[in-house]
A and B are shown apart, each in its own frame.
Chain A
Amino acid sequence: MTAQKITIEPVTRIEGHAKVTIHMKEDNTVDHAYMHVNEFRGFEKFCEGRLYFEMPEITPRICGICPVSHHLAAAKASDALTGQTPPRPANLLRELMHMGQIVQSHGMHFFELAGPDLLLGFDADPEIRSVVGLVGANPGLTVKAVMLRKFGQEIIKTLGGRKIHPVFALPGGVNKSLTSQERDNILKGVDTAIETLQVGLQIMKDWAEKNMEDINKFAVFPTGYFGLTTPENGLELYDGDIRLISREGKEMERFQVADYLDIIQEHVEPWSYLKFPFYKKMGYPDGVYRVGPLGRLNLAEKIDTPLANDELKIFKSLNNGKPVENTLYYHYARLIEALFATERVRVLCDDPDILSTDILNTHKNYTGHGVGVIEAPRGTLIHDYTADEDGKLLKVNLIVSTGHNNWAMSNAVDSVAKTYVKGPEIHEGMLNRVEAAIRAYDPCLSCSTHAVGQMPIQVEVLNPDGTLRQLMQRD
């Protein structure tokens, strides 16, 4: 029996998807489970030979799921490559666009993707356990979620134009300033967005209270945590140094992003295309770490906006001040970050520099090498470019958040399989839990052609002798 291969010509053949392999033991317990991502490999090569300033436009075209993150990371790498430091107003505007992206991405993930798991249950019929079932259970919530995403999306459109691919940031700054009317329109939506996020936080807390057993046995494991930080170790999503803390919460490294190759390295496993980054000094796999909402809140000692900071204090108490290790708390962390991003929109809009027209530094001090980093919704995104003297790219290295979390996702799948697989047959509820473990990390597996609320996932169960026992597939 061979796995069914879906071929959609011409382009979707290079879509990523997740494949899970579960090796069983003689006694029908799980020996080990892997998740492997069929990452496509051609993109960096595709970029080489192009001009560096094309990157802020090309990368968001390819990644349609978080185009703003790639757009801004590419612009930041280009700033460094040409030595054009953006003026302060340009950085404020870029950060404003980024906050719009965080709100819309996190909001959609919580309400539409995690929501059905949390509100309808892991064992619910897949026909119901999706947004369709959620509308039946709570129609008002769906409307609120749509409005929340619209709030974030309008910020992106106001700055980036009405087209899907933002044309906004360029080396040295941005090409559009904000008018006072546009600013006022953005500000009008802040209070409603905060209210919706508070509803989400209450849903999360009610669910956690009732499902503490699942939370505490569902993929809980120690790792390091990695991400941007403010100078005072606060939550930072746009710019700053990178901090790496240990599984106990102690700072191990604090460095400028340009030095990332001195700190991390990528491990290759024969069963996965996608590499496994780790902290060099500790080696692999001891030096693995997590990024994204859970990682960032574990790193942050405070949040510089009041409502999100109150929530952070509650989050920090979950494991008595130590890093929170529960995969399912990614959802809680995601909501706290969305709350921060919404409050941050107000802070940015209230800054007198936000309306300035001093938005582009055209003075170059060309170096030919630049690293740009941003905290994308899913975690740290690194763009690293080397160009010749004409600006033609010689080398492009991208590390995406799904890469940083690769080990953690595979380990989460292993943990969930070992905890929940009982007996010879794998059931739907088990598949839902595997899916939920991967989904908590919100990986950017391409899902263009997949069913509502479901991830492209294939689960292969192997007998102790390596032969196929069972194949389950969602497409």
Chain B
Amino acid sequence: MCLGVPGKIVGTYEKGGLHMAKVDFGGIFREACLEYVPEAQVGEYCIIHVGFAISVLSESEALETLELLRQIGNIEEELGEEPVQSIPRYQP
């Protein structure tokens, strides 16, 4: 399953006739299309699916979700490094 990681909207603008936003994911900034969530405001959080904001969260909802994700992240680390290091040659 995938993860819906909330990002914070730090700015909005128009591009090619579309309502767009600059979204902050822990220091990495991405562009997202806001056409599906016209109500979204700077300072709110949103969940993005392939570049489209699909839902808006309040700060408290977003922080709760981020906390859950952090806990899962810690379990991932306990499980160890990625075992998929090299790709074996295909053996038909």
Contacts and interface: CB of A to CB of B under 8 A. Distances in A.
Interface of A: 6, 8-16, 21, 23, 31-32, 34, 36, 38-43, 45-46, 58, 61-65, 67, 70, 108, 112-113, 130-133, 135-136, 139, 142, 146, 149-150, 153, 163-165, 270-273, 398, 400, 402, 444-455, 462, 466
Nearest to A381: B1
Given A64-B47, A146-B36, A446-B5, 5 more contacts: A61-B4, A64-B4, A64-B49, A70-B1, A108-B52
A446 B26 contact: no
Contacts of B25: 8, 12, 448-449
A63 B1 contact: yes
Contacts of B88: 270-271
A108 B32 contact: no
Contact of A135 (B17, B50, B76): B17
Interface string B81-92: 011100111100
Given A8-B25, A45-B75, A271-B87, A453 B17 contact: no
Interface in B56-92: 56-57, 61, 64-66, 68-76, 78-79, 82-84, 87-90
B68 A12 contact: no
In this complex, which of B2, B65, B88 has the most chain A Cβ atoms within 10 angstroms of its Cβ? Answer: B2
A398 B1 contact: yes
B18 A12 contact: no
Nearest to B45: A164
A67 B4 contact: yes
Given A9-B27, A65-B49, A452 B3 contact: no
A40 B16 contact: no
Nearest to A70: B1
A62 B50 contact: no
Contacts of B71: 46
Interface string B4-35: 11110000000111100000011110111101
B51 interface: yes
Given A31-B90, A271-B87, A12 B2 contact: no
B27 A402 contact: no
A446 B5 CA distance: 8
Contacts of B7: 448-449
Given A42-B76, A62-B3, A163-B61, A132 B15 contact: yes
Contacts of A133: 16
17 contacts: A13-B73, A14-B73, A15-B3, A16-B2, A40-B3, A42-B75, A43-B1, A64-B54, A64-B55, A65-B49, A108-B54, A131-B52, A165-B61, A273-B82, A448-B5, A450-B30, A451-B31
A270 B28 CA distance: 32
Contact of B27 (A8, A139, A163, A448): A8
For the complex of A and B, the 3 pairs showing the least CB-CB separation, nearest first, are A64-B4, A452-B51, A42-B75
Counting contact residues on chain B (CB < 8 A from A), the size range is 35 or more
A452 B19 CA distance: 12
A454 B49 contact: no
A21 B18 CA distance: 35
B2 A447 contact: yes
B41 to A, nearest CB: 15
Contacts of A142: 18, 35
Contacts of A135: 16-18
B70 A447 contact: no
Given A271-B87, A446-B4, A164 B57 contact: yes
B30 A446 contact: no
A175 to B, nearest CB: 19
Given A42-B79, A448-B7, A454-B50, A61 B65 contact: yes
A63 B4 contact: yes
Contacts of A398: 1
B79 to A, nearest CB: 6
A447 B51 CA distance: 7
B46 to A, nearest CB: 9
Given A21-B87, A452-B51, A131 B18 contact: yes
A165 B78 CA distance: 28
A62 B83 CA distance: 24
Nearest to A132: B16
Contacts of A452: 31-33, 50-52
Nearest to B38: A146
Nearest to B62: A164
B51 to A, nearest CB: 3
